[in-house]
């Protein structure tokens, strides 16, 4: 497949539909000890025996800290409208209250280079690399961290203002709080029901506190938040309640406070003994208006309750899976977007801020034939198109990821890039999926001339 096909009158073919590629700071930058950066919770977590596949870490990653210029050239070569990246908080504030000009400069260069090439810049403030010095005081278990996040958002937005076209407060508060503070499989590796819910509340509070500051400092930019979400389906007819509960904890718990100013009743009831301290006024802060909602979609869940009454995700052994073990289910993206659209009144536009597929790709004769990923993008683009036809307002799509990178607890084994990275030489090679993306965007540009 040399290009992705879209139906004739697709909204995705219009010039104002934003196509991009996404990355995050810890996953690509490397230079962990350069430019004044101090450790984040991910540097610490990676050093724990058994925490990350093969004991790997982000010390070097894609060495993007040094190769940023050629990487942006490569992004531009794909013909995308926008680049989604994240800022490493410990580069901006390596020590409590100490602003680091080298950190600001690094991102200033990237922003300038993208703009010089006509690409918009989408910046996430928190893609999981919390400064370790804040974790030493409890991290997201400490309510103070929400206020520290707001200060950081204030400083970054005061500095960059409208130069950042689209601001995102948090990337996937579900993953950051539940995998990090509830199940202990991400940094900082804490396990506890209460801890997970408490961290989640403080992250959302940080988001809400930051929103008015971002608006004041960057009035022409757009401001919002990114959620991961998977639609859940009942294993059999009698499992509908399990599927409902799975969605309630999986994304209503995070989206409802932002979009409705309340937590979902299903979770409040079931988690009654684990609930965080929610102060008067917290939900009003979290409910600050957002200009868009970013959705990260990879797969669906099929569930039932197990013998202890816990949610069990049941693997669909007949279905196609990617290398990481996630089912390929494009229909889930249509269903998810329609469900979200129906759940929230006055829903702001949605963007697909991440979507992609993992492989164990290798370069053969200078080429990477990532046939499965290419099919994955094709079918998921059609799934977005279908949701739009059903009335959902989707305004953009970002492929995860620009290039292979440090895939958190999976280390470097799982490759999500549309560009292959040889970690020995740092050579980048466009995979077939990237070439198809580029060709689609070239064709669109031709048609819209
Ligand atoms: C998402 C993360 C992103 C990447 C993809 C595969 O949960 O936002 O950093 O790890 O999954």
Which protein residue has the closest C-alpha to ligand 1 atom 10? 407
Q: Which of 364, 368, 369, 359 is nearest to 320 (CA)?
A: 359
Going by pLDDT thresholds of 50, 70 and 90, the confidence category of residue 296 is very high
Please tell me the total count of domains within the chain: 1
- SS3 of 91-151: HHCCECCECCHHHHHHHHHHHHHHHHCCCEEEEEEECCCCEHHHHCCCHHHCCHHHHHHHH
Q: Is residue 2 part of a domain?
A: no
309-328 exposure pattern, b = at least 16 Cβ within 10 A, e = fewer: eebbbeeeeeeebbbbeebb
The CATH number for 179's domain is 3.20.20.80
**Structural domain containing residue 115:** 11-447
Ligand 1 atom at minimal distance to the Cα of residue 358:
6
In this prediction, residues 204-214 reach a mean pLDDT of 99
For residue range 330-349, list pLDDT tens digits in order: 999 999 999 999 999 999 99
Please give the order of strands across the beta sheet that includes 301-305: 232-234, 301-305, 311-313
- Long-range contacts of residues 100-106, Cβ cutoff 8 Å, at least 24 apart: 100/35, 100/36, 100/37, 102/35, 102/36, 103/35, 103/36, 103/37, 104/159, 106/35, 106/65, 106/68
Q: Is residue 40 part of a domain?
A: yes
φ, ψ dihedrals at 226, nearest 5°? -120, 125
What residues flank ligand 1, with Cβ below 6 Å?
Answer: 24, 27, 171-172, 175, 228, 296, 354, 400, 407-408, 416
Percent of the chain exceeding pLDDT 70 equals 100
pLDDT at 5 over 90: yes
In this prediction, residues 16-39 reach a mean pLDDT of 99
Q: Is residue 351 part of a domain?
A: yes
For residue range 140-186, list pLDDT tens digits in order: 999 999 999 999 999 999 999 999 999 999 999 999 999 999 999 99
Q: Is residue 322 part of a domain?
A: yes
Q: Please compute Rg for the chain using Cα positions.
A: 21
Q: Is residue 6 part of a domain?
A: no
Q: Is residue 291 part of a domain?
A: yes
Which protein residue has the closest C-alpha to ligand 1 atom 4? 407
For residue range 108-145, list pLDDT tens digits in order: 999 999 999 999 999 999 999 999 999 999 999 999 99
Q: Which of 203, 244, 208, 252 is nearest to 228 (CA)?
A: 252
Residue 151 bears catalytic tag: no
Q: Is residue 110 part of a domain?
A: yes
Which protein residue has the closest C-alpha to ligand 1 atom 9? 24
pLDDT of residue 1: 80
Q: Is residue 5 part of a domain?
A: no
Residue 98 bears catalytic tag: no
Mean pLDDT, the chain, integer:
98
Gap from CA of 127 to ligand 1 centroid (Å): 9
Gap from CA of 399 to ligand 1 centroid (Å): 11
For residue range 360-397, list pLDDT tens digits in order: 999 999 999 999 999 999 999 999 999 999 999 999 99
Instruction: Note the pTM of the prediction, 2 decimals.
Output: 0.99
Which of 29, 354, 386, 407 is an active site residue?
A: 354
Ligand 1 atom at minimal distance to the Cα of residue 171:
8
Gap from CA of 274 to ligand 1 centroid (Å): 27
Question: HSE on the CB side for 81, CA within 13 Å?
Answer: 18
pLDDT of residue 302: 98
């Amino acid at each position: 497949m040399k290009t992705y096909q879209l139906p004739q009158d697709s909204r995705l073919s219009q010039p104002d539909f934003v196509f991009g590629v996404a990355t995050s700071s810890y996953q690509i930058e490397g230079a962990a000890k350069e430019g004044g950066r101090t450790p984040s919770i991910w540097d610490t977590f990676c050093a724990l025996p058994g925490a990350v596949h093969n004991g790997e870490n982000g010390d070097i990653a894609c060495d993007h800290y040094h190769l940023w210029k050629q990487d942006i050239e490569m992004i531009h070569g794909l013909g995308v409208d926008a680049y989604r990246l994240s800022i490493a908080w410990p580069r901006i504030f390596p020590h409590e209250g100490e602003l680091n000009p080298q950190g600001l400069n690094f991102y200033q260069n990237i922003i300038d280079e993208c703009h010089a090439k006509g690409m918009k810049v989408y910046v996430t403030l928190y893609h999981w690399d919390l400064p370790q010095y804040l974790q030493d005081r409890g991290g997201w278990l400490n309510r103070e961290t929400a206020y520290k996040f707001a200060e950081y958002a204030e400083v970054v937005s005061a500095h960059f203002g409208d130069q950042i076209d689209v601001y995102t407060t948090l990337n996937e508060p579900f993953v950051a709080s539940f995998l990090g503070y509830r199940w202990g499989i991400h940094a900082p590796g804490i396990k506890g029901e209460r801890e997970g819910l408490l961290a989640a509340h403080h992250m959302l509070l940080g988001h809400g506190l930051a929103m008015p500051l971002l608006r004041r400092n960057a009035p022409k930019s757009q401001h919002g938040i990114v959620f991961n979400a998977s639609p859940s389906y009942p294993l059999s007819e009698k499992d509908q309640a399990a599927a409902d509960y799975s969605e309630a904890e999986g994304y209503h718990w995070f989206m409802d406070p932002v979009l409705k100013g309340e937590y979902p009743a299903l979770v409040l009831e079931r988690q009654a003994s684990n609930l965080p301290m929610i102060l008067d006024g917290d939900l009003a802060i979290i409910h600050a208006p957002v200009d868009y909602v970013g959705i990260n979609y990879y797969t669906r869940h099929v569930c039932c309750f197990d013998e202890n009454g816990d949610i069990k995700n049941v693997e669909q052994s007949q279905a196609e899976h990617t290398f990481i073990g996630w089912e390929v289910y494009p229909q889930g993206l249509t269903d998810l977007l329609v469900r979200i659209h129906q759940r929230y009144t006055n829903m702001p536009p949605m963007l697909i801020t991440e979507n992609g597929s993992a492989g164990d790709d290798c370069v053969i004769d200078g080429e990477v034939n990532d046939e499965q990923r290419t099919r994955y993008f094709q079918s998921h683009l059609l799934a977005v198109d279908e949701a739009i036809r059903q009335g959902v307002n989707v305004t953009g799509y970002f492929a995860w990821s620009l290039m292979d990178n440090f895939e958190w607890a999976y280390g470097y084994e799982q490759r999500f890039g549309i560009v292959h990275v040889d970690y020995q030489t740092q050579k980048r090679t466009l995979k077939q999926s990237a070439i198809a993306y580029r060709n689609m965007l070239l064709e669109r540009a031709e048609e819209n001339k």
